[in-house]
Structure 1
């Protein structure tokens, strides 16, 4: 008699796929458990984050029942607002690197550039491959919120669950765009930075002086591995934390964080004319936008043109701005919409508005950066994230690059978004090319206070 085949041999490919999906769900649960470490509770004191460095524990200031957070004093003895943290929500090629640097230059702001990149790459390379799109979006947004909550509490170790290869002894060479953050490229985080001739007066003065010679590529080469424990300590000594991301589609996706009183989080939603976004993406990502580039260069629309990314971008902008401008109760005091065109034309005025919204003063280093980075002849080098340029001219330079047929297509797809955000549409080539007349209407978008 022939013996029956073992039961394991009778499993179908569908059962195997289900087992893989289940194991990946367990993996994500394990990651969330790993990063959700308990943190010490401390009362709000005169100096933010009354925790000692080097203890390995994170400390989250928390208010007791009926207790109000005290205003602090700056180095000059002036009263300043309670600590607040800011999330810049944007889309790719909307000017988010520019606004990020306006925050990065401030001596009392700890800035991180796109930390959610690590979550996206880690999860897309594993569990998202076997999940449908809706489940994948939900999984990503949940992981994004978890990491943001940790980073706004200065728990930079939470990044270790996503960085590949994994950090060793809390040090890594692989933090995405580390060089875009002054705090991560200055003393004491970057001990290798030259200190000769730097002024006395504490960590922030030395860091500010070092940053005068700071460039992103040089930072990565000279500073060596990033010690996340040391960086977390510096984060706790700053009054504000700012994070920029293009990976959260809508402001409603971070509602749970905005309603968490421990975070005191505020959102700046940066928007830009979708026609300008398209023109910038064509130049910056030629491989992904090859068909669009062919259309622009030849004047003939390719049969395989994919405009789905444009529909998605305009849909996200429309829904998110509609939520913010409707002023729901959970956004009161926490939402500000900024058009890139307004920021580019009046950088210091808009920077003042942003800092008032944040509850901080516009210090000299920010003013100096604005002066040096908004009056240049063009982008510095060929780096796609360069910020040295004639910002006013750059804001509407797309009008000399796109063909009128391309602009008409964008206007058809993004009609409602253009109207809501105050961008004029054009009906002729002459109107498109006449850059002396701005297509950004005079609109005032006040913070929701």
Structure 2
């Protein structure tokens, strides 16, 4: 008895099965062969040692990306601490990019004919825009700024980036193609270079000179400069509390570490009077005449102290979402021992402090006074500057601040003064010896 011949359907089914089995075998063999050999993966171009040029060699060593946010308030020493990060050769630093968000949204609201939204709604709108922009900038998407820069950039080029000259990365190739200035032969030129904290043979421009020489900023090239560095640092005085950053801190795409800088509110007030005379005219009249004006507005100071109280209270409570992400720094501690405190900050960030930072500290914390009249200058005797307000404010003014901010002063370890004599007695610091350890 003969077996029936297989039908075409049976042949087709068997052929498919054989092909599947063969394919699986081939894939399995290929995978085993592939993983048996050593290999490296180069992440190009973001935050690696790999050059975007495919012809260039790639450094395969993994380097962790650190996203750093300096959380501060106006006139608290944030420009100073920002420069401690800006000087690092592998840090891309931006000075107050949220300025553009605030000015654009506030101006748009002012031009609208619709009734103003409640304050709470306006605050939520601003904070949401702030967080969105920060998320993009930490990822080196500098083009995200274009929606807020006015007039709008053309072909990704702008002359209007706020304080562009405060960032070394934006004043260096590839963001700036201008040749460096020739070495100055005069004593004045030597002093200028020394004041900017540069090493021998390294040229450092003042902010205005950077803008003049570099011309319009190409945001595409700026993004490339960002991607070539392994750490991105941003300073802001526009986010009131650490709690407003929780969604960013918990974002798994970020390795965000927040350094909150605080200062004695009495020192903040004194600095604001000098820096913003139009907004603080009544306070200046009181300081100069000794008579308190009837229209004195202290709400800004009360708000600052309340923000400190809430934000620091959250940080010191050590919630789980801040573990390894939060460090509190008093400006007075940084000013008294700048090198030691800077090392503590870099240790918390997990970044090795380089020689550029050390040189900048030496050249910018032992000077006789501010470099020029610029309100953001950082060349000064930092220890003397920290409590110089004690000679500028009258005892009556200090007493008002102490009444408004007594809880904040106690929380941060600032001593109260009870007489004009105590106020002027510089042999006793008003910043208590108090340790604020990072939450690790």
Tell me what 2:29 maps to. Answer: none
2:292 to 285, 297, 301: 301
* Conserved 8 A contact 2:63-2:230: no
Structure 1's 398 and 195: CA in aligned 2 closer, same or farther, altered over 3 A?
closer
1:229 to 206, 220, 230: 220
2:79 to 88, 97, 101: 97
* Conserved 8 A contact 1:83-1:264: yes
Tell me what 1:259 maps to. Answer: 250
* Conserved 8 A contact 2:370-2:377: yes
Distance in 2 (CA, whole Å) between partners of 1:323 and 1:99 is: 22
Distance in 2 (CA, whole Å) between partners of 1:308 and 1:408 is: 16
Distance in 2 (CA, whole Å) between partners of 1:289 and 1:44 is: 54
Whether 2:153 is the aligned partner of 1:167: answer yes
Whether 2:343 is the aligned partner of 1:343: answer no
Whether 2:117 is the aligned partner of 1:134: answer no
Whether 2:170 is the aligned partner of 1:184: answer yes
Structure 1's 52 and 160: CA in aligned 2 closer, same or farther, altered over 3 A?
farther
* Conserved 8 A contact 2:45-2:52: no
Distance in 2 (CA, whole Å) between partners of 1:91 and 1:324 is: 16
Gaps of 5+ in 2: 1-40, 184-197
1:357 to 343, 348, 355: 348
Tell me what 2:262 maps to. Answer: 271
1:109 to 91, 108, 115: 91
* Conserved 8 A contact 1:273-1:418: yes
Which secondary structure does the structure 1 equivalent of 2:170 belong to?
A: coil
Distance in 2 (CA, whole Å) between partners of 1:176 and 1:211 is: 25
Structure 1's 211 and 318: CA in aligned 2 closer, same or farther, altered over 3 A?
farther
Whether 2:198 is the aligned partner of 1:216: answer no
Distance in 2 (CA, whole Å) between partners of 1:369 and 1:134 is: 42
Gaps of 5+ in 1: 1-42, 56-70, 74-79, 198-206
Q: Deviations over 1:131-155 (max 9, x none)?
A: 2211111100000000000000000
Q: Once the 2 structures are TM-superposed, how far is the Cα of residue 294 of structure 1 from its aligned partner?
A: 0.6
* Conserved 8 A contact 1:195-1:210: no
Q: Deviations over 1:389-445 (max 9, x none)?
A: 000000000000000000000000000000000000000111000011100000011
* Conserved 8 A contact 1:250-1:320: yes
Q: Once the 2 structures are TM-superposed, how far is the Cα of residue 44 of structure 1 from its aligned partner?
A: 7.4
CA RMSD of aligned residues (A): 2.2
Larger Rg: 2
Tell me what 1:370 maps to. Answer: 361
Which secondary structure does the structure 2 equivalent of 1:425 belong to?
A: coil
Alignment map for 1:391-430 (pairs within 5 Å): 391-430=382-421
Alignment map for 1:31-110 (pairs within 5 Å): 45=43, 48-49=46-47, 73=61, 82-110=64-92
Tell me what 1:193 maps to. Answer: 179
Tell me what 1:322 maps to. Answer: 313
Bigger relative contact order, structure 1 or 2 (CA pairs below 8 A, ≥6 apart): 2
Structure 1's 211 and 336: CA in aligned 2 closer, same or farther, altered over 3 A?
farther
Q: Once the 2 structures are TM-superposed, how far is the Cα of residue 53 of structure 1 from its aligned partner?
A: 5.2
Whether 2:431 is the aligned partner of 1:431: answer no
* Conserved 8 A contact 1:81-1:360: no
* Conserved 8 A contact 1:119-1:162: yes
Tell me what 1:248 maps to. Answer: 239
Tell me what 2:133 maps to. Answer: 147
Tell me what 1:9 maps to. Answer: none
* Conserved 8 A contact 1:341-1:392: yes
Which secondary structure does the structure 2 equivalent of 1:244 belong to?
A: strand
Which secondary structure does the structure 1 equivalent of 2:222 belong to?
A: helix
Count of aligned pairs: 377
| TM-score for the superposition, normalised by structure 2 | 0.82
Q: Once the 2 structures are TM-superposed, how far is the Cα of residue 345 of structure 1 from its aligned partner?
A: 0.3
Distance in 2 (CA, whole Å) between partners of 1:179 and 1:237 is: 19
Q: Once the 2 structures are TM-superposed, how far is the Cα of residue 188 of structure 1 from its aligned partner?
A: 1.9
Tell me what 2:102 maps to. Answer: 120
Structure 1's 142 and 124: CA in aligned 2 closer, same or farther, altered over 3 A?
same
Tell me what 1:33 maps to. Answer: none
Q: Once the 2 structures are TM-superposed, how far is the Cα of residue 194 of structure 1 from its aligned partner?
A: 2.3
Distance in 2 (CA, whole Å) between partners of 1:102 and 1:142 is: 28
Distance in 2 (CA, whole Å) between partners of 1:49 and 1:267 is: 20
